[in-house]
Each structure stands twice: as structure tokens, then as C-alpha cells.
Structure 1
């Protein structure tokens, strides 16, 4: 039997049916209410009280609610948990409507479409749509809050890996699937492991023809992709945004294509291993390259600087242009400081413009925009005398928008309220009618006081009061003790326990006049505010361009500030395909050292006599720091930044690859060694002769002989097939023998000074290989028990003694075999020793196991030979 609900609840159910995947915030008075399953879910997730409501059903339906003025905080908590929230408002005046007030969903908030300021941090908040078509995966992405839009195409056998790398850079809050994706399981496994806050949504469209024209409405024709699949992905992205944001989205007017050929390619592993914009501990920016370089004063500049680090340049002319700008700002400290002071007063007006576009901006947003525009003339004046190409271009293109600034200054008061429908926004003197109504409202207080005094004198009732409340309006209150003195002209309005309230014709006329004036004040103020907002909205494209120019200036000034504070120098660019660094320093580690100075090191990588550096030496001595340092300095140079070094000459590389550290991937069931091999395979497949490769301790996840064999094979493959400039750190000292096989392989080690049983790691990279690992010394430094360390030294001595005997025995056996006639050689292998030797897996033996087996075989051989 069907359940009969009240008309209001039927309205709720109808709207909920249209938004089944969202929590519906249903506006009732001063609250957003939730019902049925939504109420139970929200009550649990938000920890608010679950109640019930009579809705025409036999039983009360579950209900919970939140105050409308505090709803943003509750919505933010739900969005952070991956939920969607549909905001349903009254869309007609309750006083003018007949029956149920019409309500509609005015916005759907999802993790990727958040616009409210307190739900966003300084960084980007991307929404990504994926669509697969014709053996290619197309990505369309937008940060609705900043109006940034990008698209990319991924094809070929490595498209999923390249797509995941781009997802890692974008770090989207939400991925929308615009159709079936063949490799979705792999993509979701990657985001689960590396982007745990990313949520997934699906979009189903019945009529593609109806949305095909959306990209052309937003972007210039020369920005649109030629591939039909890419255009459709953009159309789906815009369609999804129209469904959720429910605005015309005209601020989304600029489209960028991600082209790997235009940037130094950094895969997800490299971005993570080098800790460029997020650290490996908790994913925050603490102790990252970005944290060292970021002296930006605006949120817009901070976002742009992060992009520069994630997408370094490969074009020498573009790199030089940035270097010139940074260099001039370094050379002119007073100009740079003035820029910093001015930029510090600029708000995030990229996001303010978005709120203006979608209709959620308030008067305080306009004040923030005015404050930002007010400092632009000073910024432009500071740019005028500068000569660097990029700084001159910013000066030429930077508009100050004096008309917008002056309009807001004239119209909006300095301290407006948050709400736009309560009055108090518009400055006195801006609108004559508004001023007259306000004067009337001010005079009403005096009128009430005068009326009260007159009526007390006329009636003789000294306790008579004239008052007002929102429900009953204005009234004259007389206690019951004075009821006999109430004039006949008074009309009873309300009865209280100890008094009666009355109205008079004069007071009624005044009430109508005053209440009408207050309503008019609010209406006029809101009308003026909307008119100003529309004026700004028409100019959004121009002001967005200004925001981008301000961001670029801020990022350039930040790089200059970092260079001055860190003592950085400008790297030269060369086309000799070499990397030459003198006294280079790790930009992050040197900042973290408190009690010691960072030891600088040189680097000479080229394709003539040092293509592969094999670096040996003990743990904790600085091998990994040095290799990361080289990669970061190259990346910094190609960002256009100065670098921490005495001098440098760098040829831009096309890609930087890193394989460092030990980690497993439990989500996909891959061991540490499997992850290592996957990353090495990825590097060897994608690296070119113009790449830079950093490999740290390849082969440590398996047995000694297996690992050594793999490490050697990787070096040889790199030398013969890849020809990339390579830094290869290893504990396998045997690999130093490879230097003799090629003039392009060179051995280096970390200098160590020994003082008896103590060692000092000098952290200097010097030519030549190391012959010790000093592992026990490192264990001692780590605080292992003294007895344990002493026992380890004893075992090490025994093993080294055994190794010497094995090598000596092997040499003697080889010499004997060479001296004896061939016919007498096979006697040993005719015995049972042959069977036992055949069962031994030599490549998996540790040195101690090999020594024990050799000893047993020797005893067995003596017995079979009849020797004591």
C-alpha cells in the first residue's frame, strides 16, 4: 500500500528523486533539513541529533538539520568525506506564493566543484573528466574556483602510466568518468595508493549532440583540440559543471593543452622521490623544494610557482627569459621589496571573480577586490623602469581597472555585513533615495520617544511604553493596573499576563511608513549590489588576465628572494649535452642543517668521458643526498630559477627519472623488489640520451648475486642502449670493475677518514671506488648495543677471512686445471660430488653459506679420494 505524505514532504521526495546520489539540504525557514536515509547518514557523519517529523505517514520520518548560516562548515565536513551535497532553496517569496513555496536545487557541491572560501586551501582544486575513445584516453580538467582549464591526450602502450603521472601532478579532488575506461582498475589502484582523497563520479549523457557545442561557447577556436575525443571530453566536463555549479560559467574562458614535449617530464615516482611539492611522510609541503622557494605573497603566485616546479621548461629561450627577470629583481632589492609589500595586500581575486560569476560573492568580496585593485598602480609604477623581457611584458599588459575600483569605493561601505539581503552594504551619499529612507529610519527612534512622552502626559500613565517586535509590529503597552485610564481611541492589539498592548491611528500610519522604508532599504541596497556585481562580471576576462600577470610577477619575485636568501647563482645553459656544477648544494637539506655546514660537491656529466657515475660508499655518508641534489639543481635551472652552487652550466634535459628508497605497494600486492623492478623497467623504456637518471641501490631487494647481476646488467643496458646521463649508487663494490669496460663509466665514492675503529664521513664525492661499506659503523652510530656491534665485527672478520680463502682456493684450482692434461680433468665430476654441485643455486647463496658448502664439499672430496 502506498504511503501518503504531506505536500511539503512530497515536494522533498520529488527533488530527492532527481538527486539520488547527493545529500539533499532542504531549506525550511532558518534551517537546512534532511530526511529519511539522508538524515540518518548526516546524523552519523556530522554527529548531530537525529529526530523525526510528522509527514503524513503512519510513523514519523527520520530528520536532522543544521542552521543555514552555519551550513558551510557542515557541508565542508561532508565533502571532505567524499559526499555530494545538493543545496535546495526557496525560489519564490513565501508571502506571494499560494500553497507550497517552490523550491529548487540551486547548486550541487562535490569535492571537485567546491567554491566556498573556507572549503579551499591556497592550492588548486581540480575536477578531472576521463574519456576513452579510439585507443586513446582523453583528460579534461578544470579548477572551477580559479577558472583554470587543461586538456591532454594519452595514447600508445604507455598511456595509462603517463595519464597517472598527470593525475599525480593535478592531484584532483574528483575524477568523473565520461564513459567506459578499459584500464580503470589500474587508474583507481594508482589513485588509491597516491591520491587517497580523490573521489570518483560517473556521468551518463543521452544526447551528445546537445552538449557538443559547449567548448566553442567557452574557448577560442585556436585553443580547441582537433581530436574529436578530446573535444567531447571537454563538452562532458562542462556539462557536468553546468549540472552541479548551475551557473553560466563564463569565467571558464581559457584552455591550455598539456604537451609533454614542452616541459621537462617528471613522472609520479620522481615527483614523489625528489619531494618537489609534497613530502613522502605526510604529503604536506613541509621540507620540500617548494617550501624553500615559496616566498610568494599571493595565493595566485603560490599556485603558479607550484606549477613551474611540476612543469619545468625545456626551451632555452623561455628559461633564459625567466632567468633574466629573476636576475633583475635580485639586482634591484628595493624594487623587489616594494613589490613584496604591494603584493602582500592583494587578495586571491581569481577566486573572488569566480564567486562573482556564480553569484555567491558578498559585499566583503567586493571590498577585497577593491583593495587588490588599489595597489596595482604602485605595482605598475615599479615595473615601468625594468628591462627584463618578461617584466616588461607584464608591465605592458597589466591593467589597473580604475573604473571598477572607483565604483566599489564609491558604492560599498568599508565594513559591510556578510549577508547581502540585510542591508548595511551601501555607502551613505551614493543613492539619494536610499539616504532619505535611512534618514526616515533614524528619525523613527526620535518619533517613538516623542510619542511615548506625549501619550504619558495625555493619559497620565507614567509607565506607558511604546515598543516594537517583529511579530506584532509597533504597540503602546499599558499595565492592567492602569486599564481604567486607557483612552477610547486606543485599539486593543495583544493581551499579556499583566498588560495590554494597543495601537492608535497615528502609530499605525507610522508603522506602515517605517516598515515599508526598511523593506525598501534592503531591496534598494541589494539592487545596487547586484548592479555593481554585474558591472564587474562583464569585465571578468580582463581582470582574470591581470590576476595571471600578478601571479607571474609574484612567482618571479619569490624565486629572486629565495636566490638572495640562499646565496644562489645563475646557471649557464649549454648545448654541449653536459651538466657541470661546481660546489653544488642540496637546496632543502642545507636549510635543515642546524649545527653543521652543508658540504658542497661538484658534478661533471657528459657523453664523452663521464656518462655514468657509479657511486660507492657507506650508508649515511651522503650518496642519496648528492644524487637528489644533482636532479633538483637541474630541475631548478629548467624552472628558470637560480641554483645553490658556485657556478654551473647545464644543458636542458627532456626527462628526470629517479629510483630511490624502498617501498612496497600493498594495495596491488607488490613487494618492495617488484616495485623497484617496475620502476627500473619504466625508466629504461622511457629514458632517452637527453634524460637524467638517478638510480639508488638497485637490486637490494633480492639475494646478493641476483641483485648484483641485475645492477650490472642495468648499467650495461644503460651504457649500450639508453645513453642517458646517469647517477648510479650501489653497495656492490664489484661493479666498480665496469669502469675498465668503457671510458663513459666513471667511479666515484664518498670520502671517509678512518681513525682507529672510528670513521668520519666527509660527505665529499671524490673520484675512485670504495672498498668498504662501513655498515657496522653506521649500526654503531644508530645506537645498536655495544655487544651486538662487537659480535658483528667478529662475524665480519670471519667472513672476510673465508672469502680470502675461497678466492685463493679458486685461483689455485684454476692454475692446477690449466697445468694438467685434459684427459685427467673429469675425475672429480664422475663422483657423487657432481650431483650435489648440480643442486646448488649459487646465485642465491650468501657468502657465509657459500663458505660452509665449500667446506663440506672439500671434506667429501677428500673422503672419495682416500685422502686424510
Structure 2
């Protein structure tokens, strides 16, 4: 323990006690220093040297530090590792201080409030989440302080409706979670967060304030919020107070508040976002190979963030979908205007976030340069947008204000290429302020100015003199003794020499003061002018924010039009008749990354009349999962207003897309693959409606054959009888194909397969009909299993298929290594004949079937060139025979 701490360390501990959970960056001269445990942590995480400092204790205090001018990058690294940083600065002039300089924390940087230029991914939002639980409801907020946006949602019956909370966490992926008041996390939520978000920082926040203060704080900030529940206002009040407690600056730029779901958005839950790889891939959580990566041709960070929100929250309202479609269609049809807009957008910086830094006082000179260059483009962008006729584009054009006064101010005030920081000077442009210009002139042209002053005095007095300088008297005029009688009265004699006298004048003394303090004054004056400039722009932040959001929308629409044009996508027809009909649809991601083969397109028809439930059988690895994912992805694209990869399409919006695809354990909670699968199925059966699209793949595969088959059929029947959602259900249980005979709206589909001996080719075509087996051994052969294993598996399979399941089990125990050859040949011949018939190789005889029927039966996409010639030859022979030729 310390015997007596130094005054500086006493001050340090008095501040550190207020911020026990933060790393305290304590300003000493040109460094931020950290002490004790903070120093040990920072030294380890930043890989910087750990030293020691005398603190009055017997042992030196562990200490490390970083230069204050480079602190931003160090702070960013700590924040990305999940720490919080309290920045402690000198808050009084050291020259005026009596004793130790007063210091205080001017800002706390947390993962959810990081606003530095390089601290976050500019193309993604950095959301802070706030949870607030009351007796009546659970309120969740998601706020990006760098853009001024808040998204809120209110859930009743909080005990059994946490699904939407987990879905929102998956969508917004916050970096920090504030638990307001007495709010705590449920066990399920804690498990989900620890499993999905390894670096999500939790921040309990329970200030001693009355709910009336919370509500009045929210109403004062959001004057146009309208009618919302009081607990929502309380949550907003908590959020604002939390921001004020850490940012310690004006936050009036936070003004864009909207509800997460108003019933006009498709809901994509956690499972759907993950399985369909909408915005993050399963491999490493990045964006490569996602739907977002295919659609993102945006040119501004603002547009990129907006596109991600569109993709994660597709529309349901037909009118708004069609408005976006019309805008994209016009942008596709007018390439010159589209290219002009995109070329101009390349010069637009992320001024939505720059405005937030203006508001909070952390704006840099280069930020102002970026804002100026962005504003320079606005007249051209508005002029181009005004030439469009689509209502969505006209609305965008009307929201783009050119902000001429702000641009002129920045163009006049900020240097063409300012220094990185104010302390470096040369941030304010020459000619903006007369006093600053004079100081700069003195600093850079002092000798020239002094020479002019000397000549002016000579001319006015008619005496001979020269200027000089020494450290004792400073600047002076030296006059020979022969001219001292003519020295004016305002000359003050300071020194007598053998041959001359030295004088100072008020003007010369003023020059001396200016010269000696010019640099300091330049920095001080530039800071003053810079602050005045920030305040002037701060007063008009809100309208410029609106322009930024309009540009983001224009960027997204132009980007989607570029994708549609370059990839030759088509505009789907959007209706409300419940139909989903897609002809020659293609998966946009797989098609893009498929390099060595052509993607095989497929059709789909879903409705509530005849094809409500598609039961898809066929071999593993043949394309069933791709086909189902493709339908879901195309629906997402269509409902954000995008064009889609297909020959033609008519879609009716769905309210939700549910997916049960893939296999995964949940190790953190000890749940097996089958348990995870069953929980996902249970969630779907509980929440799906007749307006939903259900994608289910291989239900029941994680347990025994009979258990799995029973569960799969029971799920099929429940969906068909009780939910009536449009459903794609893929299964390797080909025993389920008999359900088509029982349920009229259920139709069997399968994947076309071509067998050649023991080889099998998956044709990737989804055709009507059911598969009579799963081709598992063929897939095993493709995977490279040893020949002995494959041969034995074929023998066992034939024995099992020859008798009952029980007989088959007995056969597995007693079957010899060889099976009767005639039986094998017969089975093989029947399979080859079935494959030939499936491929369209019939007799072609007009007395048994017409040429037209035979032609319609041919699956052109499945034929090799030589097979196509054979089919054509047989059809021609049939036509000749039928015609008597």
C-alpha cells in the first residue's frame, strides 16, 4: 500500500474511481498514460512496452503510454477487442493552473459509440442495442450514433416471445448491448449471445432518474415522434442519457426514429438469414458468397448500409415494391443517365457520418474537405435525377438540396488540402480571415515586412537607420549619433553605443510581439475559426442528413439497375393473387461463382389451388437444396424491388420465409444436430402462416429410419392441414411420395438423374414425379469410398429391398458376400430401362404415341449432344413411318 501518493496519482485515482470498468487514457504532456491494471492490459493488447513510474509507493506503478496525436488508432484496436476507453484531458490552461493541472474525462469510447473515421466498417452500420423490460412489455432499440438512426420494437408477453429479439440481434449484429434500468437477460438470450456474438459488450445502465424525466428527455429530442407507448419513450430516454454520459457532447443529430416492423416488411429470422446466407456467409461470417455481395454495386458507404437494410427487410406492400421496380426499370432503360449518376456518386464521401462527427465535436479538417467535395456534386446529381419520370426517383430528386451556402462556406474557409490536424496549421484557407492572413504573413515573411517598415520610417522621418535584433532588447532601430537630433518623440531609447543609439517604437514593439507569438496565435485563431465553422454547419445538420439519405437511396437504385443490366435480370410481375410462378429461375450467387459448368435453370409453381406443397425427392448432392434456396432468394430479391435471374416470373409477396436447411450442433448448449433440427421445425410450425414460404430440407434425418420417416410425414400432414403455407419439402424418404394420392394440393417433384451402368449423372433439373430411391451408394462412389465397401453396400441394399425391413435386418447379418447373378442383372436392366424412358428414348412409333407427345416428353437440358441427335433421328423415323414414307 502507498505511504503517501503523489498529487498527480491522487488525481489519477480520484478519476479512475469514477470509471472502474474503462481503460483510463490519462493525458500527461504529449502522451496518454495508463497505470496499474489498465497499463498491464493495454501493454498486452497493444503490444507496447510496460514501464514504471514513481507514485509514492514502495514499488513503481506499472505504466505504459501512447502519443496523443496517434492515440486514435490505439483506441480503435482496444475497442475492437471489446474494451471501453475513458479519455482524460487537461481542462484548464497549464499556465494559469495553481498546482497540478485540473483534468477530467471528456469522452468514453465504447464499441457502440465509436465514431472515428477508420474505427468501423464504413459499409455497415455500427449498432448499439438497448433492452428495456417493464411489467407489460419488452422494448428493444438499435441505434447507430454515426448516422443518427434509431430503430425500435416493442413486444408484449415477453416471457414466451423472445424469438423476435433473437432475430433482431442476428439482423443488426450490435457491438454493444445496454441493459437499461433493472433489465436482465433470460437464459436463452444469454446463451444465444454468447454463442453468436463473442465480442458483444454488455453495459448495465441504471441511472437514478424518474420515468417522467426519461419520457420528457425523449419528447424533447424527438419532437415529431408521434404517438408511441410510454415504455418506448422511457427506453429512448435511457438511450439518450447513456449517450450523454459517454459522449459528453451534443447529440441532436440523432433524429431519425422509426419502428422496426409495421406489418409491411417480410420477416427474415435468424435461421433464414443464416441458412440462405443473405448478408453473412456460413464459412467465416464475411460477405463473400452472399446475396448482398451479388447485389451490392453501390458506390457510397451510405448506399451500402441502406442496401443491407433493404435486403434484410424486404417489402410486402405491392405498391412500394412496384415503385422501386419502376425506378430500376427506368434506370436500366436510360444507361446514359444511370452512368452519369454513378460517375458522379464516385465523388461522394460518407458525409452522413461526417455530420455526426460535426455534431459531437470530433470532426477533422479532412472530414470538412470530404463534406465540401460531396456537396460540390449535389447540383449535378439533382439535375440528373430530375430527368427521370419514375415516382421514386422524382421523390429522391425533391429531397436533394444543393446546400449552396454550406458549400460556399467550406470552399471559402477550408484549405484545398488542409493538414490532418489543427495543430499542424494551414487548415483555414488564405483570404478567409484578415487577422489570420496577417499573422501568417508575419510568420512567413517577417524579414520582408521588417524591411518595409524600415523603409516607411526612413521616408517619414528622413533619418538614416537600420533594424536589428538581440535577445535582451528584441527588435530595435539603430540610428547614428549624427542623426539622433532628428529622431521623433515616439522613439524610445533603449541602448547607447559608441557610434549609435538604439531605439524601439510602439509599432516595432507590436511587430515584435506579433512575430514572437505568431505561431501560437495562428494555432489559437485557427482553432477559434474552426469552432465557429463547426457551429455554423452544426446548425444545418438535419437538412444535410436528409440529403445524405436521399443520395443513399439513389445509389441503391442505380446499383440494382446496374446489376439487372449487366446480369440480364428480368423484372418480375408482382400480384396479390397468391401465385408464385418462376420460369427458368437461377440462383444468383451460385450462378456467379460457377466457373466450370453452366448453371441449370429451373421452374417453380406455388399457389393455394393445385400446387401448395411440393414434395421433392431424389438423390443427395443432386441440387434439391440449391433449388429450394434459389426460390427463397429470388423471393427476397423480388420483394426488395430488385430484378431477378429468370426468364419470366410472377410473384405474390410472402410475409415470412422459414428455412430448415443444413445440419449443425449447438455445442454451447449441449444440443445435438437432431435437437437443433427439431427446435427449428417447432418454431416454424408455431409461427408460419398461409402467407409464408416454407423451405424444409431432410426433416427427420438425424434419428432412426422409421422415427425420421414418421416425423417427416407428420410434419408434411400438419403443414398441409393446418398452416397452408407455400412449401418446398425436400426429403430422401421416397416412401412419402404416396402422399400425392391423398392430398390434392401436394405434388411430387424429383431431380432428373441419368444412370450409365454404376455411374450416375445428376442433371440438376427439377421435374414432376417421385424418386423410388435415394442413390446414396452412387453419391458414396462419387465421394471416393473404397470399391469393397461400395460392392458390399449394393449387396446389402438389394437384400433389404427384396424383403421386409425385418427380413432385411436378418439378411444384413447372414447375407453372403455374393448375390445371385441373375437377380443382379435383372435389377440392373430394370434400372437402365427406367433411366432410358426418363430421358425420353421411347420407340417413337406413331401407332403407340404421337411424335408431338414424344417430343414434349424429351428433357432437352438432360441430353448430351449425341443423345440429342439420336432422339431427333428416332422422332424423324417415327414421323416417316406414321406418314407412310
Q: In which range does the TM-score fall when normalised by the shorter chain? A: 0.7 to 0.9
Kept in 1, the 8 Å contact 2:2–2:57? The answer is no
TM-score by length of 1: 0.86
SS at match of 1:369: helix
SS at match of 2:96: coil
Tell me the distance in 1 between the aligned counterparts of 2:23 and 2:690.
54
Matches within 5 A, 1:299-310: 299-310=301-312
Q: Residue 734 of structure 2 corresponds to which residue in structure 1?
A: 733
Report how far residue 601 of structure 1 moved. Answer: 0.4
Tell me the distance in 1 between the aligned counterparts of 2:114 and 2:6.
33
Q: Residue 209 of structure 2 corresponds to which residue in structure 1?
A: 207
The correspondence for 2:220, drawn from 217, 221, 225, is 217
Q: Residue 789 of structure 2 corresponds to which residue in structure 1?
A: 791
Report how far residue 854 of structure 1 moved. Answer: 10
Q: Residue 56 of structure 1 corresponds to which residue in structure 2?
A: 56
Q: Residue 833 of structure 2 corresponds to which residue in structure 1?
A: none
Kept in 2, the 8 Å contact 1:21–1:84? The answer is yes
TM-score by length of 2: 0.84
Matches within 5 A, 1:201-350: 201-208=203-210, 209-223=212-226, 225-226=228-229, 228-259=230-261, 261-350=263-352
The correspondence for 1:849, drawn from 797, 806, 809, is 809
Report how far residue 20 of structure 1 moved. Answer: 0.9
Tell me the distance in 2 between the aligned counterparts of 1:178 and 1:288.
35
Tell me the distance in 1 between the aligned counterparts of 2:814 and 2:740.
31
Kept in 2, the 8 Å contact 1:569–1:646? The answer is yes
Report how far residue 117 of structure 1 moved. Answer: 1.0
Q: 1:509 to 1:739 in 2, by over 3 A?
A: same
Report how far residue 206 of structure 1 moved. Answer: 1.3
SS at match of 1:117: coil
Tell me the distance in 1 between the aligned counterparts of 2:292 and 2:306.
11
Does structure 1 residue 541 correspond to structure 2 residue 501? no
Report how far residue 213 of structure 1 moved. Answer: 1.6
Matches within 5 A, 1:747-758: 747-758=748-759
Q: Residue 383 of structure 1 corresponds to which residue in structure 2?
A: 385
The correspondence for 2:176, drawn from 168, 174, 184, is 174
Q: Residue 97 of structure 2 corresponds to which residue in structure 1?
A: 97
Report how far residue 850 of structure 1 moved. Answer: 5.4
SS at match of 2:740: helix
SS at match of 2:154: strand
Report how far residue 256 of structure 1 moved. Answer: 0.6
Report how far residue 516 of structure 1 moved. Answer: 2.1
Q: 1:574 to 1:425 in 2, by over 3 A?
A: same
Q: 1:853 to 1:524 in 2, by over 3 A?
A: same
Matches within 5 A, 1:548-697: 548-697=549-698
Name whichever of 321-330 and 415-424 sits farther off: 415-424
Q: 1:767 to 1:504 in 2, by over 3 A?
A: farther
SS at match of 1:95: helix
Q: Residue 399 of structure 1 corresponds to which residue in structure 2?
A: 401
SS at match of 2:690: coil
Count of residue pairs the alignment pairs up? 776
Deviations 1:681-737 (CA, angstroms, capped at 9, x unpaired): 000000001100000111111111111110010000001111100000111110111
Report how far residue 852 of structure 1 moved. Answer: 5.4
Tell me the distance in 1 between the aligned counterparts of 2:168 and 2:470.
66
Report how far residue 63 of structure 1 moved. Answer: 1.1
Tell me the distance in 1 between the aligned counterparts of 2:45 and 2:563.
44
Kept in 2, the 8 Å contact 1:803–1:851? The answer is no
Tell me the distance in 2 between the aligned counterparts of 1:711 and 1:467.
99
Tell me the distance in 2 between the aligned counterparts of 1:322 and 1:659.
30
SS at match of 2:529: helix
Tell me the distance in 1 between the aligned counterparts of 2:136 and 2:711.
34
Does structure 1 residue 79 correspond to structure 2 residue 74? no
Report how far residue 220 of structure 1 moved. Answer: 2.7
Kept in 2, the 8 Å contact 1:779–1:789? The answer is no
Q: Residue 876 of structure 2 corresponds to which residue in structure 1?
A: none
Report how far residue 798 of structure 1 moved. Answer: 3.0
Matches within 5 A, 1:132-171: 132-156=133-157, 158-171=160-173
Tell me the distance in 1 between the aligned counterparts of 2:449 and 2:578.
87
Deviations 1:153-212 (CA, angstroms, capped at 9, x unpaired): 122364211111011111000001113446532112112222223121101221224443
Tell me the distance in 2 between the aligned counterparts of 1:647 and 1:852.
51
SS at match of 1:535: helix
Q: 1:108 to 1:294 in 2, by over 3 A?
A: same
Tell me the distance in 1 between the aligned counterparts of 2:60 and 2:711.
70
Kept in 2, the 8 Å contact 1:169–1:268? The answer is yes
Q: 1:277 to 1:474 in 2, by over 3 A?
A: farther
Q: 1:311 to 1:802 in 2, by over 3 A?
A: closer
Kept in 1, the 8 Å contact 2:214–2:233? The answer is no
Tell me the distance in 1 between the aligned counterparts of 2:41 and 2:295.
44
Q: 1:798 to 1:167 in 2, by over 3 A?
A: closer
Deviations 1:373-419 (CA, angstroms, capped at 9, x unpaired): 10011111111121101101111221010110011101111111111
Kept in 1, the 8 Å contact 2:413–2:428? The answer is yes
SS at match of 2:118: helix
Q: 1:55 to 1:473 in 2, by over 3 A?
A: farther
Kept in 1, the 8 Å contact 2:475–2:504? The answer is no
The correspondence for 1:429, drawn from 411, 431, 444, is 431
Tell me the distance in 2 between the aligned counterparts of 1:527 and 1:368.
21
SS at match of 2:423: coil
Tell me the distance in 2 between the aligned counterparts of 1:599 and 1:445.
80
Kept in 2, the 8 Å contact 1:152–1:258? The answer is yes
The correspondence for 1:443, drawn from 442, 445, 452, is 445
Tell me the distance in 1 between the aligned counterparts of 2:530 and 2:554.
32
Report how far residue 224 of structure 1 moved. Answer: 5.5
Q: 1:613 to 1:415 in 2, by over 3 A?
A: same
Kept in 2, the 8 Å contact 1:51–1:63? The answer is yes
Q: 1:415 to 1:764 in 2, by over 3 A?
A: same
Does structure 1 residue 519 correspond to structure 2 residue 520? yes
Q: 1:449 to 1:850 in 2, by over 3 A?
A: farther
Query: Which consecutive unaligned segments of at least 5 residues does structure 2 have?
Result: 454-467, 477-493, 816-885
Q: Residue 124 of structure 1 corresponds to which residue in structure 2?
A: 125
Tell me the distance in 2 between the aligned counterparts of 1:605 and 1:789.
42
Query: Which consecutive unaligned segments of at least 5 residues does structure 1 have?
Result: 452-464, 477-487, 492-502, 808-841, 856-868
Deviations 1:508-546 (CA, angstroms, capped at 9, x unpaired): 986533122222222222222111111110000000000
SS at match of 1:282: coil
Q: Residue 112 of structure 2 corresponds to which residue in structure 1?
A: 112
Kept in 2, the 8 Å contact 1:160–1:183? The answer is no
Kept in 1, the 8 Å contact 2:35–2:61? The answer is yes
Q: Residue 831 of structure 1 corresponds to which residue in structure 2?
A: none
Tell me the distance in 2 between the aligned counterparts of 1:191 and 1:474.
69
Matches within 5 A, 1:2-41: 3-41=3-41
